[in-house]
């Protein structure tokens, strides 16, 4: 293969790779393909990570993207969210509760760090009393969050 053909082939591959990235992993994908409504792969990845972490402090030390909501009764929830507007793979919230239960929710995730921006701790200026109060926040309904069933 001539030098010119190699350069042309490498350039074509780079342009194709960049186009694929822009159309699947950025806000452009949401504009072109549609908003993300949940990713089983993202949920499974974070399910494994969160299940292996003993407490919120360890999670925050290991992963800067983790958010923690502490309830006044001592319960807590830690987790991550993937913005629907950022990628068509977005729309996912994965949490681990102080009980050890790991849950995932699919729906419209409007912006980054949704656990602390949607929760009572930010909207009412106080921490939720219990996990039940955290999950009763109207944001879960407003963004059409549905629990994903890990199989």
CA separation for the pair 134, 139 (Å, rounded) = 10
Q: How far apart are CA 148 and CA 82, in angstroms?
A: 14
Q: What is the pLDDT of residues 86-139, one digit of tens each?
A: 666 778 899 999 999 999 998 877 777 888 876 545 566 778 889 998 888 877
Spatial neighbors of 113 by CB under 8 A, at least 6 apart, are 67, 81
Task: Output DSSP code: residue 34.
Answer: -
The rounded distance, in Å, linking the Cα atoms of 119 and 128 is: 8
Q: What is the pLDDT of residues 13-48, one digit of tens each?
A: 666 655 555 555 555 555 555 566 788 899 999 999
Concatenated DSSP letters of 64-98: TT-EEEE-TTS-EEEEEEE-TTT-TT--EEEEEET
Pick the most confident of 8-12, 64-68, 112-116, 124-128: 64-68
């Amino acid at each position: 293969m001539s030098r010119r053909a190699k350069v042309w082939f490498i350039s074509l591959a780079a342009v194709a790779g960049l186009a694929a990235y822009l159309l699947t992993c950025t806000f452009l994908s949401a504009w072109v393909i549609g908003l993300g409504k949940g990713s089983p792969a993202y949920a499974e990845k974070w399910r494994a990570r969160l299940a292996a972490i003993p407490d919120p402090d360890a999670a925050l030390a290991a992963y800067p993207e983790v958010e923690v909501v502490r309830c006044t009764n001592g319960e807590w929830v830690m987790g991550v969210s993937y913005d629907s507007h950022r990628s068509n793979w977005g729309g996912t919230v994965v949490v681990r509760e102080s009980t050890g239960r790991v849950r995932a929710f699919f729906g419209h995730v409007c912006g980054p760090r949704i656990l602390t921006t949607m929760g009572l701790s930010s909207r009412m200026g106080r921490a939720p009393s219990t996990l039940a109060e955290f999950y009763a926040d109207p944001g879960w309904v407003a963004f059409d969050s549905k629990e994903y069933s890990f199989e």
